[in-house]
Amino acid sequence: MKFSSRAERIDPFYVMEVAKAAQAMAREVAGTSEPMIFLNIGEPDFTAPPLVQEAAAKAVRDGATQYTNALGLDALRERISGWYQSRLGVDVPARRIVVTAGASAALHLACLALIERGDEILMPDPSYPCNRHFVSAAEGRAVLVPTTAAERYQLSSDKVQAAWTDKTRGVLLASPSNPTGTSIAPAELRRIHEVVQARGGVTMIDEIYLGLSYEEEFGHTALAIDENIISINSFSKYFNMTGWRLGWMVVPDAMVPVVERLAQNLFICASTVSQQAALACFEAESIAEYERRRAEFKARRDYFIPALRSLGLSVPVMPDGAFYAWADCTDAAQRLGVQGSWDFALEVMRRAHVAITPGRDFGSFEPERFVRFSTANSMEQLQESVARLRKLLG
Ligand SMILES: Cc1ncc(COP(=O)(O)O)c(C=O)c1O
């Protein structure tokens, strides 16, 4: 069978390959004193809180399951708008909010709406692998710009300026980022957007981890800067609803009908049951629970990053959000007699039964230096993995 060159251009998602190997190994060691600990998972270890579960069950019982408007339930768009006002202090009218099947569908729609064949989109290296594949699925080309710890692994206005060519259409950023958990300083983001605007380009920003921000300095939406910025968000991370497949995107007024037309044709709408359930995310009781969980994620970060550093796994920048640690494993790999993050991750999985993700997925600049740890696991499991790593690394 012949497949499209578009499909052939999409690399495998190595995180999933590693996850499969970890699952196989987990079955082997299940009954032992050291069952597998999964620190390779990119999703919260919590599920939706009770009010959200009940709202989903009620929608099913009441038969409130027909297609919705392609832009989403009006009531949900209003709730999201209210969230921007109460939580982030920004006025985002409901009419500019498009409810989607996760951030993934939002990214897909944004790329299809904005990118012509051959257009280039600048993004940081390292970054979330699927983001560059949304660009190539729209027949554009993702240009990865190497970043440093001093830049918090984010693009700077200088680098955007230097990398801009006749083919550049815009930037796709993520703040806080996967795999680093680091955000762009608001002043730098403003400068980047100015550079992009001056060249007639678009600024797209993936704010899926914004709800899980731990530092006052960084927890601001880019929408506060300019209504021409396109912001992608989701119920997956802060709202703990990964498998419910629900997200949203805020777009400029002129883009709403374009995205609506694409969404009507490609998706009809996001899951109705999930949309009905998500209305309950914004009840005071649910928000209190989400805030308790956010505090738990922060406590895990505060324990785990210093612990990794004490093991000789340097984490050059303290993450300010999300639930990841981007750690340099060069020294630790040498101590195990292996070279590079891929073999290091396999060795840690085999000998300590701790699953982690090698840097390979996230870019081509320094993937062999870094591994990603996820702290979306209980404090007990994090402590146990540190004990095992200490034993392994000496
Ligand atoms: C940075 C980033 N963007 C987008 C996504 C996709 O999220 P969703 O479940 O909302 O489609 C993820 C998932 O891990 C992610 O880490």
Residue from 234, 245, 248 to probe ligand 1 pocket by mutation (most atoms less than 8 Å from CB):
234
Distance (Å) from CA 34 to ligand 1 centroid: 31
Q: Please write the tens of the pLDDT for every residue from 78-128.
A: 999 999 999 999 999 999 999 999 999 999 999 999 999 999 999 999 999
Fold of 50-282: Aspartate Aminotransferase; domain 2 (3.40.640)
Which numbered atom of ligand 1 lies nearest the CA of 246?
Answer: 10
Which amino acid residue places its CA nearest to atom 16 of ligand 1?
Answer: 178
Q: 124 is written with which tokens? A: 């940081």
Residue 17, sorted as left (phi over 0), alpha (psi -120 to 50) or beta, turns out to be alpha
248 lines ligand 1 (CB under 6 A): no
Neighbours of 261 (CB within 10 A): 12
> Using CA atoms, how far apart are residues 13 and 243, in angstroms rounded to an integer?
18
Which numbered atom of ligand 1 lies nearest the CA of 43?
Answer: 14
Q: How confident is the prediction along the chain (394 residues), in pLDDT tens digits per residue?
A: 999 988 888 887 777 778 888 999 999 999 899 999 999 988 999 999 999 999 999 999 999 999 999 999 999 999 999 999 999 999 999 999 999 999 999 999 999 999 999 999 999 999 999 999 999 999 999 999 999 999 999 999 999 999 999 999 999 999 999 999 999 999 999 999 999 999 999 999 999 999 999 999 999 999 999 999 999 999 999 999 999 999 999 999 999 999 999 999 999 999 999 999 999 999 999 999 999 999 999 999 999 999 999 999 999 999 999 999 999 999 999 999 999 999 999 999 999 999 999 999 899 999 999 999 999 999 999 999 999 999 999 8
**pLDDT > 70: what percent of the chain?**
100
Residue type, 7: A
For the chain, the structural domain boundaries read 5-47+286-393, 50-282
Comparing CA positions, the residue from 300, 315, 302, 275 lying closest to residue 97 is 275
H or E element: which one contains 249?
Answer: strand 247-250
Distance (Å) from CA 304 to ligand 1 centroid: 23
Which amino acid residue places its CA nearest to atom 4 of ligand 1?
Answer: 103
Give the CA angle between residues 280, 283, 286 to the nearest 5°. Answer: 80
100 lines ligand 1 (CB under 6 A): no
Q: Please write the tens of the pLDDT for every residue from 266-293.
A: 999 999 999 999 999 999 999 999 999 9
Q: 213 is written with which tokens? A: 């921000």
Task: Give how far Cα 259 sits from Cα of 70, 119, 266, Å.
Answer: 9, 19, 10
Q: What is the pLDDT of residue 8?
A: 86
- DSSP codes joined into one string, 25-59: HHHHHTTSSS--EE----S-S----HHHHHHHHHH
Asked if residue 248 lies in contact with residue 234, where contact means CB atoms within 8 angstroms, the answer is yes
Architecture of 5-47+286-393 per CATH?
A: Alpha-Beta Complex (3.90)
Distance (Å) from CA 117 to ligand 1 centroid: 24
Residue from 231, 236, 240 to probe ligand 1 pocket by mutation (most atoms less than 8 Å from CB):
236
Coil, helix or strand for 280? helix
Which numbered atom of ligand 1 lies nearest the CA of 107?
Answer: 4
H or E element: which one contains 109?
Answer: helix 102-114
